[in-house]
């Protein structure tokens, strides 16, 4: 694969013009006519092995952590690639760190860290803010809690508002800084999920996206089952009998116990993001999400308008 590293600006004022010329940034306007710029999609985000290790070592299963990814733009075979070079953790000053990440001047922190590293390293860094949620431990007693835990990377209203407001000043415009969310899940065999949102390059709310992804997965499961039966029509009746023995009879004998369990199963299948997330592992699959493993991890962010 042929890589072309971008020229290194001597100061941050050369940053925007260089990235616009190389099609990594695009200009836009708000509905009030305010000048903005954001990343150009589609784009690949690559986490090298050593970066993944640092992220995983800094993840706290009980408290929210946050910080900044500093990413270097690279052209590879005509593709825009963002390679994460630095991971900088910031101290969480929230009074409730189990549920939120807070710093009173976070926007200024992002601007200061990005600019100082850009000028000291002479690298055209692009900043991405990240924060984490504590590890997901499924509860089978509280249904509402279970449903929330089956949506590990769903962004809160506060996350969504913040992602729409996080900007840094560059020349005469403001750059919309993308956000990333990290969460570890016992449901996904202790693996760490990362999802991108906001910044003008991804949605801030993923409900519709995951409904489509989960619906696609269920259709594939159904198509696989019907194909298996079509291969041998005699398989239908034993399967029907087995279903009746496992589900039908217990539902008739113990309706108050079994029917809620069936409903939970249906909700798990319809609402769980684990199946679609676990499938987003290849470069060829456009997604806003991925699973960080102790190896190079690539996430393919599709075009977003």
DSSP assignments along 106-120, one per residue: HHHHHHHHHHHHHHH
Q: How many domains does the chain have?
A: 2
Contact 127, 248 (CB under 8 A): no
Q: Does any domain span residue 263?
A: yes
How many angstroms separate the CA atoms of 3 and 87, rounded? 22
30-42 average pLDDT score:
80
Residues 101 and 237 in one domain: no
Which residues, listed in sequence order, are joined to residue 67 by a DSSP beta bridge? 89, 130
Short-list 151, 180, 164, 140, CA closest to 276: 151
Residues 230 and 189 in one domain: no
Short-list 14, 128, 38, 22, CA closest to 80: 22
The predicted pLDDT at position 30 comes to 64
Residues 105 and 246 in one domain: no
Q: List Cβ neighbours of 188 (8 Å cut-off, separation of 6 or more).
A: 274, 277, 278, 291
How many angstroms separate the CA atoms of 123 and 85, rounded? 10
Residues 146 and 255 in one domain: no
Residues 184 and 105 in one domain: yes
**Residue span of the structural domain in which 69 resides:** 3-204+280-301
The predicted pLDDT at position 261 comes to 55
Residues 65 and 193 in one domain: yes
Arithmetic mean of pLDDT over the chain: 76
Q: Could you report the per-residue pLDDT of 45-90, keeping only the tens digit for each? A: 999 999 999 999 999 999 999 999 999 999 998 899 999 999 999 9
Residue holding tokens 């190079």? 296
Q: Could you report the per-residue pLDDT of 212-223, keeping only the tens digit for each? A: 555 555 555 656
- On the question of pLDDT at 5 being above 90, the answer is no
Residues 178 and 263 in one domain: no
- pLDDT classification of 10: cutoffs 50, 70, 90: very low
How many angstroms separate the CA atoms of 182 and 68, rounded? 12
Residues 142 and 192 in one domain: yes
Q: Does any domain span residue 113?
A: yes
Q: Could you report the per-residue pLDDT of 85-115, keeping only the tens digit for each? A: 999 999 999 999 998 899 999 999 999 999 9
Residues 238 and 296 in one domain: no
Residues 118 and 258 in one domain: no
Residues 159 and 63 in one domain: yes
How many CA atoms does the CB half-sphere of 244 hold within 13 Å?
A: 6
- pLDDT classification of 243: cutoffs 50, 70, 90: low
Q: Could you report the per-residue pLDDT of 257-284, keeping only the tens digit for each? A: 555 555 555 544 544 444 445 444 444 4
Q: Does any domain span residue 275?
A: no
Name the DSSP letter for residue 234: G
Q: Does any domain span residue 10?
A: yes
**3-class SS string, 36-61:** EEEECCCEEEEECHHHHHHHHHHCCC
Contact 96, 133 (CB under 8 A): no
Residues 113 and 231 in one domain: no
Q: Does any domain span residue 59?
A: yes
Q: List Cβ neighbours of 221 (8 Å cut-off, separation of 6 or more).
A: none
Q: Does any domain span residue 123?
A: yes
């Amino acid at each position: 694969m042929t890589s072309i590293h971008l020229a290194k600006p001597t100061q941050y004022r050369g940053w925007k013009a260089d990235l616009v010329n190389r099609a990594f940034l695009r200009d836009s306007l708000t509905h009030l006519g305010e000048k903005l710029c954001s990343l150009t999609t589609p784009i690949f985000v690559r986490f090298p092995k050593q970066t993944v290790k640092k992220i995983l070592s800094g993840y706290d299963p009980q408290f929210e952590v946050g910080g900044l990814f500093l990413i270097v733009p690279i052209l590879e075979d005509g593709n825009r690639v963002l390679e994460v070079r630095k991971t900088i953790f910031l101290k969480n000053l929230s009074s409730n760190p189990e549920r939120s990440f807070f710093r009173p001047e976070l926007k200024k922190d992002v601007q200061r860290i990005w600019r100082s590293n850009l000028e000291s390293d002479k690298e055209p860094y692009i900043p991405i803010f990240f924060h984490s949620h504590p590890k997901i431990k499924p509860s089978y007693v509280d249904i509402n809690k279970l449903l929330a835990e089956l949506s590990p990377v769903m962004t809160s209203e506060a996350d969504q508002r913040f992602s729409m407001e996080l900007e840094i000043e560059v020349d005469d415009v403001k750059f919309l800084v993308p956000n990333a969310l990290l969460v570890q899940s016992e449901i996904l065999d202790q693996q760490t999920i990362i999802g991108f949102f906001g910044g003008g390059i991804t949605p801030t709310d993923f409900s519709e996206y995951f409904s489509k992804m989960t619906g696609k997965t269920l259709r594939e499961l159904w198509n696989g089952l019907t194909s298996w039966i079509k291969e041998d029509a005699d398989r239908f009746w034993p399967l029907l009998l087995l279903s009746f023995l496992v589900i039908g009879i217990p539902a008739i004998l113990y309706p108050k116990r079994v029917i809620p369990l069936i409903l939970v199963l249906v909700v798990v299948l319809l609402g769980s993001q684990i199946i679609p997330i676990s499938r987003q592992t290849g470069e060829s699959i456009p997604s806003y999400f991925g699973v960080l493993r102790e190896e190079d991890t690539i996430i393919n962010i599709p075009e977003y308008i």
